[in-house]
């Protein structure tokens, strides 16, 4: 990758020094001693400024140790020596991204892509991801989506790629870390919808849009994107209805009018197209897309002279820029907490008045001490007041925000806790206990979608605190998974928590809800159902400990008293199957299919039992029925694939296995 001319002997003393230091640098780098390696490489390039390999390793070491500002001049020097080195441009752009020099970052990342990244597919993916983020920031949402779709396999999209796609779909001109955590659930839903669109799964994408519109009916650009997707399925009347809804929500946006003009042209309605195009131009006079729609409409109407004038106007317009709506950016951006200052606004204030700063530092220290003393003494309101005063002086005080959030939470002031904890995770996104408290506060405020996302994030980071606190967090995650219909995941979380301790009764109730597949929270259980669900939870707890001799009588009593309860026969049949009591299990599963004919679960279980008993023909009918009832079920396709293998139908089996792999991934 680099030339060797710089290593040639050119004069004994300096050459000997250079060779020795270069060797020391390489040894330190290979030994993982980054600080020593950086020191040696700096000395080496001072002796031999044209040593491109030295500049490469110096920049890379700075980058790998998160010293991005220092990496930038090293990569700039390397590019000066070797301007065709795509990886150098790439790492320069990534370093600039980390230092928030977003304009140069985008230019240099694109340059790296143009030159090629030395057959390094991971570098290509990282670069494309950051390019897409910056295109979103620049309101070039369509281009951002195209970059992401070209750089990643649609069937295996990582979560951060989905988030970038979701932000492009909602046309959010921010970076992911600039978004208020209260918008996480909305962006998560948009991300899943955008992923389905990237996979060309139109049917599921449309269903996802419908659910989003139920949950977030007034979200800007959501009706617009739904309408565009409907149009791609040639459902133009429904698409126009969605675009008109968008016009009501976003009356200053030209986009729905441009899309309406496009639909009209596709349906051979040029007069309607012209009207929509002119409305779009009235809203966005510099929009090339709006003028292009007008030109096409004029041509379709046979008005060639006017169309030619429009073409000239198009030629004089600047390149298309993204539609600017400050309100949208403001709606998604991290906000303030009451009258408190945002951390990113403090740098300028901190530079004003050096003398005042010394006084403020003393005052801050006194207030922080008073807050700690009040907290230790159990004087919560005083501690809150002192914390707030200290944070006005130092709004980037992470520990202060965390303590303020904890104080609000411990005193059941959940609405006040949320913005304090949002600020905490904004300052330190890896602070798991803050994410957990944020999720628990949102749970109390019935913001269940954000609560699940934020509690799950805390779990991924590693739940901190004592065993009781961890148990409470896991219970809430499981309860929310039940509410979402993710019963198996809920069961997996709840089973290890069975036993005495905090929330023991609620854990048992949540287990009962999971066993009976009832999408409710324990607090939502009605009095007439509480006995049944408590019994279900007791049996689930016993089954989790393999205490079948005690669990089965409970299940049998429940079946005698509530024979028509959905999923009860399925639960008992599954437990019987785990003890190889297959005849009894099949009887229970068949009864489940009778009272609950629209679920695939008993058919999947019966197919699995038939396979174990080497009855592939019996398994086939159950497997096919399961897939017919649940065409998106990875488990149903997997079982059917196994049946095909057993019967020697390898081609169909491979198809089922592939679908299972794509869905589970």
The overall average pLDDT reported for the chain is: 90
Q: How far is residue 406's CA from residue 387's CA, in Å, rounded to a whole number?
A: 11
Domain range for 523? 357-597
Q: Are residues 410 and 517 in the same domain?
A: yes
Domain end, chosen from 597, 623, 656, is at: 597
Q: Residue 299: which pLDDT band, with cuts at 50, 70 and 90? A: very high
Q: Are residues 318 and 383 in the same domain?
A: no
Domain-embedded: residue 115 = no
Domain-embedded: residue 403 = yes
Q: Residue 448: which pLDDT band, with cuts at 50, 70 and 90? A: very high
Can you give the pLDDT at residue 7?
44
Domain end, chosen from 575, 597, 619, is at: 597
Q: Is 234 left (phi over 0), alpha (psi -120 to 50) or beta?
A: left
Q: Are residues 409 and 508 in the same domain?
A: yes
What distances in angstroms separate CA 662 from CA 157, 163, 192, 352, 658, one per listed residue? 11, 19, 15, 57, 6
Identify which of 452, 201, 211, 224 has the alpha carbon closest to the alpha carbon of residue 325: 224
Angle at 358 between CA 352 and CA 360, to 5 degrees: 80
Q: Are residues 235 and 376 in the same domain?
A: no
Q: How far is residue 197's CA from residue 80's CA, in Å, rounded to a whole number?
A: 42
Q: Are residues 464 and 408 in the same domain?
A: yes
Domain-embedded: residue 348 = no
Under 8 Å between Cβ of 93 and 85: no
Domain-embedded: residue 25 = no
Domain-embedded: residue 141 = no
Model confidence pLDDT, tens digit, residues 91-137: 999 999 999 999 999 999 999 999 987 778 899 999 999 999 999 99
Identify which of 570, 607, 613 has the alpha carbon closest to the alpha carbon of residue 589: 570
CATH, residue 245: 1.25.40.10
Number of domain units in the chain: 2
Q: How far is residue 262's CA from residue 543's CA, in Å, rounded to a whole number?
A: 60
Can you give the pLDDT at residue 653?
46
Under 8 Å between Cβ of 435 and 458: yes
Q: Please determine, for residue 371, whether its predicted confidence score (pLDDT) is greater than 70.
A: yes
Please identify which residue in the block is written with the tokens 């041509």: 299
Q: Are residues 321 and 362 in the same domain?
A: no
Can you give the pLDDT at residue 518?
97
Q: Are residues 277 and 387 in the same domain?
A: no
DSSP for 416-468, please give it.
Answer: HHHHHHHHHHHH-TT-HHHHHHHHHHHHHTT-HHHHHHHHHHHHHH---S-HH
Domain-embedded: residue 398 = yes
Under 8 Å between Cβ of 99 and 125: no
Q: Are residues 409 and 550 in the same domain?
A: yes
Q: Are residues 283 and 402 in the same domain?
A: no
Q: Are residues 278 and 371 in the same domain?
A: no
Domain end, chosen from 541, 571, 597, is at: 597
Q: Provide the token pair at 37.
A: 């390696």
Q: Please determine, for residue 657, whether its predicted confidence score (pLDDT) is greater than 90.
A: no
Q: Are residues 301 and 365 in the same domain?
A: no
Q: Residue 360: which pLDDT band, with cuts at 50, 70 and 90? A: confident
Q: Are residues 509 and 590 in the same domain?
A: yes
Domain-embedded: residue 347 = no
Domain-embedded: residue 349 = no
Radius of gyration of the chain (CA): 31
């Amino acid at each position: 990758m680099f030339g060797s001319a710089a290593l040639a002997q050119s004069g004994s003393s300096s050459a000997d020094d250079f060779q020795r230091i270069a060797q020391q640098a390489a040894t330190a780098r290979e030994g993982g001693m980054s600080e020593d390696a950086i020191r040696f490489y700096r000395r080496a390039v001072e002796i031999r400024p044209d040593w491109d390999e030295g500049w490469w390793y110096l920049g890379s070491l700075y980058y790998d140790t998160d010293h991005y500002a220092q990496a930038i001049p090293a990569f700039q020097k390397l590019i000066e020596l070797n301007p065709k080195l795509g990886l150098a441009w790439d790492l320069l752009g990534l370093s600039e991204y980390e230092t928030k020099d977003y304009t140069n970052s985008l230019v240099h990342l694109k340059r790296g892509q143009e030159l090629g990244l030395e057959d390094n597919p991971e570098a290509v993916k990282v670069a494309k991801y950051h390019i897409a983020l910056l295109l979103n920031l620049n309101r070039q949402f369509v281009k951002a989506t195209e970059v992401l779709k070209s750089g990643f396999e649609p069937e295996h999209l990582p979560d951060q790629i989905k988030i970038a796609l979701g932000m492009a779909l909602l046309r959010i001109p921010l970076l992911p870390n600039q978004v208020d955590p209260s918008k996480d659930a909305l962006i998560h839903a948009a991300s899943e919808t955008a992923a389905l669109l990237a996979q060309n799964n139109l049917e599921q994408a449309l269903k996802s849009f419908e659910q989003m519109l139920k949950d977030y009916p007034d979200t800007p650009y959501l009706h617009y994107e739904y309408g565009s997707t409907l149009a791609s399925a040639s459902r133009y009347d429904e698409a126009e209805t969605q675009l008109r809804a968008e016009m009501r929500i976003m009356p200053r946006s030209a986009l729905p009018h441009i899309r309406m003009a496009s639909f009209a042209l596709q349906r051979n309605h040029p007069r309607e197209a012209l009207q929509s195009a002119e409305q779009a131009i009235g809203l966005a006079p510099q929009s090339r897309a709006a003028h292009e729609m007008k030109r096409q409409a004029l041509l379709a109407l046979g008005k060639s002279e006017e169309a030619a004038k429009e073409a000239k106007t198009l030629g004089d317009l600047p390149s298309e820029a993204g539609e600017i709506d400050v309100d949208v950016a403001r709606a998604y951006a991290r906000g303030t907490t009451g009258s408190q200052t945002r951390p990113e606004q403090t740098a300028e204030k901190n530079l004003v008045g050096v003398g005042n700063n010394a006084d403020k530092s003393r005052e801050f220290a006194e207030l922080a001490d008073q807050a700690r003393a009040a907290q230790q003494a159990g004087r919560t309101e005083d501690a809150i007041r002192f914390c707030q005063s200290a944070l006005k002086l130092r709004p980037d005080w992470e520990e202060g925000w965390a303590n303020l959030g904890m104080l609000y939470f411990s005193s059941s002031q959940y609405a006040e806790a949320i913005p304090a904890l949002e600020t905490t995770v904004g300052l330190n996104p890896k602070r798991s206990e803050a994410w957990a408290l944020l999720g628990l506060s949102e749970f109390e405020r019935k913001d269940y979608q954000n609560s699940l996302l934020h509690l799950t994030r805390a779990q991924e980071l590693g739940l901190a605190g004592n065993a009781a606190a961890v148990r409470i967090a896991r219970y809430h995650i499981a309860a929310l998974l039940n509410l979402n219909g993710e019963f198996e995941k809920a069961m997996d979380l709840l089973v290890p928590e069975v036993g005495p301790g905090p929330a023991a009764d609620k854990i048992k109730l949540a287990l009962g809800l999971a066993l009976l597949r009832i999408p409710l929270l324990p607090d939502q259980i009605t009095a007439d159902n509480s006995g049944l669900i408590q019994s279900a939870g007791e049996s689930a707890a016993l089954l989790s400990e393999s205490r079948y001799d005690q669990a089965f009588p409970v299940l049998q009593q429940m079946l005698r008293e509530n024979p028509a309860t959905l999923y009860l026969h399925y639960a008992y049949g599954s437990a019987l199957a785990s003890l190889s009591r297959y005849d009894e299990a099949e009887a229970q599963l068949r009864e489940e299919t009778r009272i609950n004919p629209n679920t695939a679960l008993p058919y999947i279980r019966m197919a699995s039992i038939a396979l174990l008993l080497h009855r592939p023909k019996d398994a086939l009918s159950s497997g096919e029925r399961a897939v017919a009832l649940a065409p998106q079920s990875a488990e149903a396709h997997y079982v059917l694939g196994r049946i095909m293998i057993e019967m020697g139908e390898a081609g169909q089996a491979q198809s089922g296995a592939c679908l299972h792999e794509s869905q589970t991934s």
